[in-house]
Amino acid sequence: MKMMKIGSKMPLSARVFCTMLFALAFVTLEWSPTGAAVVRALGVSVAAMAPMAGSQAGKFQPDAAEAAFVRDVSERLGQKYPDTRSALAAGYYQTTKLEPDGTTIWFNNRWSGVSKYSPNFLWYDKHGRLAGLDYQYEVSAWPNPPAKNVYPVRRSRWTTIDPHIHFAYKTPSGIIKRRGARMLPNLQGRTVTAQQLRAAKLLPPNATLLWTYVHPKAWDLGFWVVPNPSGAFAELNPNVRP
């Protein structure tokens, strides 16, 4: 698999690309006997696509309307959710470890009530400071992404995320591991059990499952709130480092 989140379509949003590429690499490294070969393949793909990324850098810069929108949201959410402590108090929780783009993802378990100043996903840097966000809407409820009068961005800024799962467990030594994986076959509803994860060789026999959630197919709009010379919609931000 190349530079693509699990089951996603190009073009990618910054956050979703990094999230799912990391999740896939993590699962492969820990559980697949051919993990090393997969990682080498990913490395080749990233290198091969580097020239293309440079030639398309301009597309990540917002136009005037988008820049005003990003600036407004960044200022408001910088006051509302400046750090992980404020996010935790508002009902968000950390769903990933620190990713290659230098952020962790926090989710509030909500797929409804998402709005301009109430995104359902927030990104925090390694110091616990707000770095970016995602607005995500279930495709089953939204055949098309929200209109431009709701989010004044180009239609191409919206990407889709295919169904997958997230979960966390505690090892006997007390270490908490957060992981993401492809959707399990024959999964019914929104519940994933420890038995199902163990059967899929995703949960170690001696680990304690802490939480799970099923991520449905969704529209995604993500951008950085930390100023980014590469553009608010770029995949990486040189001002945010792992």
Residue 7 lies inside a defined structural domain of this protein: no
Percentage with pLDDT > 90 across the chain: 72
Greater confidence (46 vs 15) lies with: 15
Residue 66 lies inside a defined structural domain of this protein: yes
Residue 230 lies inside a defined structural domain of this protein: no
Residue 237 lies inside a defined structural domain of this protein: no
What pLDDT does 38 receive? 33
Cα-based angle 32, 206, 216 (whole degrees, multiple of 5): 60
What pLDDT does 205 receive? 93
The 10s digit of each residue's pLDDT in 168-224 is 999 999 999 999 999 988 777 788 999 999 999 999 999 999 999 999 999 999 999
What pLDDT does 56 receive? 63
What pLDDT does 52 receive? 45
Collapsing DSSP states into helix, strand and coil, what is residue 128? coil
How many secondary structure helices (H) and strands (E) does the chain include? 5, 9
Collapsing DSSP states into helix, strand and coil, what is residue 199? helix
What pLDDT does 51 receive? 46
Domain that holds residue 191: 14-224
What pLDDT does 186 receive? 74
Residue 119 lies inside a defined structural domain of this protein: yes
Residue 108 region by backbone torsions, left for phi larger than 0, else alpha for psi between -120 and 50, else beta: alpha
Collapsing DSSP states into helix, strand and coil, what is residue 196? helix
Residue type (1 letter), 125? D
Q: What is the CA 25 to chain-centroid distance, rounded? A: 14
CA pair distance 13, 143, nearest whole angstrom: 19
CA pair distance 222, 224, nearest whole angstrom: 7
What average pLDDT does this structure show over 82-91? 98
Helices 14-31/35-55 angle, 10° precision:
160
Report the number of distinct structural domains present in the chain: 1
The 10s digit of each residue's pLDDT in 145-170 is 999 999 999 999 999 999 999 999 99
Residue 231 lies inside a defined structural domain of this protein: no
Contacts of 224 (CB under 8 A, 6+ apart): 14, 131, 132, 232, 233, 234, 237, 240
Residue 165 lies inside a defined structural domain of this protein: yes
Confidence band, pLDDT 50/70/90 cuts, at residue 2: very low
Residue 76 lies inside a defined structural domain of this protein: yes
Greater confidence (30 vs 171) lies with: 171
For 52-77, letters b (16+ CB in 10 Å) and e give eeeeeeeebebeeebeebbeebbeeb
What pLDDT does 145 receive? 97
* Most confident of the ranges 13-22, 47-56, 78-87: 78-87
